Structure 1
Amino acid sequence: MVKKTGRPGYLQIADELRERIRGGLLAPGEALPSTARLAEQFDASLSVVKMAMGILRNEGLVVGQQGKGVFVREDDQSEQSEQDADLRAEVTALRSAVQDLTRRLEQVEAALPAADRKAGA
């Protein structure tokens, strides 16, 4: 049931379903209850449940199959490990680029006062 905590209901539902998936209560490949059933279970509107399901889809925890329902995503550890490695490499490259740009910006800013003095003379 969605609680009146100030936290949006769709986030509470997503949290609960995420816990069930990670805790093994919903196994990989298992179908989640229908949107209507979840709305009834959580005492929430269909749109709130759909928003929660969208979050879980974006996180890659569930996949929808047209006309069949929403299922807990099958674990493919090798694919996930490869994606994690790719993301780590991308984050490392981005950090390096930001550090380089920061250093270059500092050099430009340090040169500006000197250029202003020369222009005024």
Structure 2
Amino acid sequence: MEAESRLQAPFEQVAEKIAEEIRSGTYALGEKLPNQRDMAERYDVAIATLQKALGLLRDRGWVNSRAPIGTFVAASIPDSGEPLPSLPELSATVKDLQAEVASLRKSVDDLMAGRD
């Protein structure tokens, strides 16, 4: 895991730590998380880094935000026990999807050209 964490951006590392704490019960399902300033101190990161980590967790279904109340652990967490994907993994996936979309677009264009 140590080598893996060096490949992750700081916000990804924090998101993984929070997800692990949710898995372990440190933060209970439905529980309100501490305020962002306290969490940033706890994980020794800037508030902006913590906000990106919480955004990633929100996108993955681990937490929910209720403005202006705060951020809460989701009522149920994702089934996967796998770590969150790293930025390089997500980047590679996006590139693959872009190539697939370009290929599909060309196929559609070729089909449409044949109809004219």
Q: Deviations over 1:91-116 (max 9, x none)?
A: xxxxxxxxxxxxxx9xxxxxxxxxxx
Q: Which amino acid letter does the alignment assign opposite residue 13 of structure 1?
A: V
Match of 1:10? 11
**Counterpart Cα distance in 2 of 1:47 and 1:12:** 14
Which residues in structure 2 correspond to 1:40-59 (within 5 Å)? 40-59=41-60
| RMSD, matched Cα | 2.6
Match of 1:21? 22
Q: Deviations over 1:26-61 (max 9, x none)?
A: 111101111111111111111100000001000111
Flag as ranges the 4+ runs of structure 1 deviating above 6 A: none
**Counterpart Cα distance in 2 of 1:67 and 1:37:** 17
How far has the Cα of 1:16 moved from its partner?
A: 0.3
Structure 1 unpaired stretches of 5+: 81-104, 106-121
Higher relative contact order (CA 8 A, sep 6+): 2
SS of equivalent residue, structure 2 residue 65: strand
Among all aligned residue pairs of Structure 1 and Structure 2, give the percentage whose two residues are the same amino acid.
30
Match of 1:83? none
1:36 counterpart = 2:37: yes
TM-score, reference length from structure 2 = 0.59
Match of 1:72? 73
Q: Is the 8 A contact 2:61 2:77 kept in 1?
A: no
Q: Which amino acid letter does the alignment assign opposite residue 56 of structure 1?
A: L
Q: Which amino acid letter does the alignment assign opposite residue 43 of structure 1?
A: D
SS of equivalent residue, structure 1 residue 33: coil
Structure 2 unpaired stretches of 5+: 80-106, 108-116
Q: Deviations over 1:10-37 (max 9, x none)?
A: 0110000000111111111101111111
**Counterpart Cα distance in 2 of 1:15 and 1:76:** 13
Larger of the two Rg values belongs to structure: 1
SS of equivalent residue, structure 2 residue 42: helix
Aligned length: 77
1:60 counterpart = 2:61: yes
How far has the Cα of 1:75 moved from its partner?
A: 2.3
